[in-house]
């Protein structure tokens, strides 16, 4: 029997790509004879992350539909037939048998092409609700896997709440003890602006953390920026805060493991990683996120874990600074909050998805 072949359709944000890479890494270990490849458009993080993880990446035409102008939407629609034709051709050339979509521009044409070829198909949804593309694809595919509990109206044998996979380096953080910050030490903060080029956190965090530092003591920051890093560095320098700023950190696991507070957007992948490490957090949903899905994610996660959440429109620096300062001063409260966050971790999600793919192929 020849080796099985599987393709992962991804694209756009790191939140789409990293869960797929986590599953592919696990599947490579569990079934070393399998041939694995990724399908993207090359317009997002897949162009950097997929080759870096040692997997082949094939490109198909595609463009964003959500959060774009009318012209952009028309372009995305116009590219769809070409994307389906290109995806169908490469799936046939590579003799792929299973296709799994994790979201992004390439998911729709690749899954539609796979369906037209009679291949086994599945999608994974990391957010609290199905996005537009996955709502359209869900009735067509063989399996639908959710990162959180099943949304209303989505039940049945092909739909399964399975958790959101995280990369092995993040997964390893689950075994670290939860150690509160020292009142006399340097308070370590990680800021994650996400893949979107929003500058909201870039502009708000230096002032907020400067206020906390004046009240409680020194702070150090690792800040993944949405805009130009040099502007954020200058803002922290003016505030007297030591900060490492970059548009992208290759070692996010290290930053999470070293942090004592995480300020982050509310993508499904980011929240899954936060749950693994178990840290008190401030969630700031991206205001422009498609269909307000980050607000929904933040609401569900905050209700379950007790983390703070604030919409961009409700930002109140003085009130938020008081919350952070109080947390830094109270190690018992820090541990309580960190423990609640870690309790939300869906252990072994990458293993479960890999096993589901093996079962689907059989």
| DSSP letters for 182-193 | PTTS-EEEEEE-
Tell me: the pLDDT tens digits for 203-239?
999 999 999 999 999 999 999 998 889 999 999 999 9
Pick the CATH number of 172-342 from 2.60.40.790, 3.40.50.2000, 1.10.10.10, 3.30.2130.10: 3.40.50.2000
- CATH 3.40.50.2000 domain range(s) in the chain: 5-164+346-361, 172-342
Selection from 264, 246, 9, 13 nearest residue 272 by Cα: 264
What class has domain 5-164+346-361? alpha beta
Query: What is d(CA 73, CA 75) in angstroms, rounded to the nearest whole number?
Result: 5
Which 8-state DSSP code applies to residue 173? G
Angle between helices 268-277 and 331-342 (to 10 degrees): 120
Beta bridge partners of 262: 190, 281
Of all residues in the chain, the percent with pLDDT exceeding 70 is 92
Q: Which of 78, 81, 32, 40 is nearest to 59 (CA)?
A: 40
Cα-Cα-Cα-Cα dihedral sign, residues 89, 114, 3, 351: positive
- DSSP-derived 3-state class of residue 315: coil
Task: Print burial letters for 290-304: b (CB count within 10 Å at least 16), e (below 16).
Answer: bebbbbbbbbbbbee
**What element of type H or E holds 268?**
helix 268-277
Kind of pairing between the strands at 187-192 and 261-264: parallel
Contact 137, 160 (CB under 8 A): no
Q: What is the pLDDT of residues 97-110, one digit of tens each?
A: 999 999 878 899 99
Closest CA to 107 of 80, 73, 78, 67: 80
Q: Left (φ > 0), alpha (ψ -120 to 50) or beta: where does 116 sit?
A: alpha
d(CA 114, CA 122): 10
- For all residues of the chain together, what is the average pLDDT? 90
Residue 102: what pLDDT?
A: 93
Give the pLDDT confidence of 2-57 residue by residue, as tens digits: 679 999 999 878 888 999 999 999 999 999 999 999 999 877 788 889 999 999 99
pLDDT tens string 165-208:
999 999 999 999 999 999 889 999 999 998 666 789 999 999 99
Reply yes or no on whether the pLDDT at 92 is more than 80: yes
pLDDT surpasses 70 at 138 = yes
Cα–Cα distance measured from residue 147 to residue 298, given in angstroms and rounded to the nearest whole number: 14
Is-above-0.85 flag for pTM? yes
| Comparison of pLDDT for 133 and 127, the residue scoring more | 127
State phi, psi for 261 to the nearest 5 degrees. Answer: -150, 140
The answer to whether 262 and 192 are in contact (CB under 8 A) is yes
């Amino acid at each position: 029997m020849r080796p099985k072949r599987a393709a992962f359709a991804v694209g756009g944000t790191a939140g789409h790509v990293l869960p797929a890479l986590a599953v592919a890494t696990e599947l490579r270990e569990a079934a070393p004879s399998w041939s694995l490849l990724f399908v993207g458009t090359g317009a997002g993080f897949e162009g950097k992350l997929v080759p870096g993880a040692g997997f082949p990446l094939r490109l198909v035409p595609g463009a964003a539909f959500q959060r774009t102008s009318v012209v952009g939407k028309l372009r995305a629609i116009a590219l769809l037939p070409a994307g389906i034709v290109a995806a169908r051709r490469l799936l046939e050339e590579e003799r792929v048998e299973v296709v799994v979509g994790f979201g992004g521009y390439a998911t729709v044409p690749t899954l539609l092409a796979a369906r037209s070829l009679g291949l086994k198909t599945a999608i994974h949804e990391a957010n609290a609700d199905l996005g537009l593309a996955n709502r359209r694809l869900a009735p067509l595919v063989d399996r639908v896997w959710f990162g959180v509990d099943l949304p209303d109206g989505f039940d049945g044998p092909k739909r399964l709440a399975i958790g959101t996979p995280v990369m092995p380096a993040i997964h390893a953080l689950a075994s670290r003890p939860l150690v509160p910050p020292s009142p006399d030490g340097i308070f370590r903060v990680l800021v994650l602006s996400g893949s979107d080029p929003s500058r909201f956190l870039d502009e708000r965090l230096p002032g907020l953390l400067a206020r906390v530092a004046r009240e409680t003591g020194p702070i150090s920051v690792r800040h993944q920026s949405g805009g130009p890093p040099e502007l954020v560095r200058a803002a922290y320098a003016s505030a007297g805060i030591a900060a490492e700023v970059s548009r992208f950190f290759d070692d996010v696991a290290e930053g999470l493991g070293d942090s004592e507070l995480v300020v982050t957007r509310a993508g499904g992948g980011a929240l899954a990683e936060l749950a693994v490490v178990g840290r008190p957090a401030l969630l700031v949903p991206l205001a422009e996120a498609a269909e307000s899905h980050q607000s929904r994610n933040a609401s569900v996660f905050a209700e379950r874990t007790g983390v703070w959440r604030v919409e961009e429109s409700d930002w109140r620096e003085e009130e938020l600074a008081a919350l952070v300062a109080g947390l830094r001063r109270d190690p018992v409260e820090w541990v309580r909050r960190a423990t609640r966050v870690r309790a939300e971790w869906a252990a072994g999600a990458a293993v479960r998805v890999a096993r589901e793919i093996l079962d689907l192929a059989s």
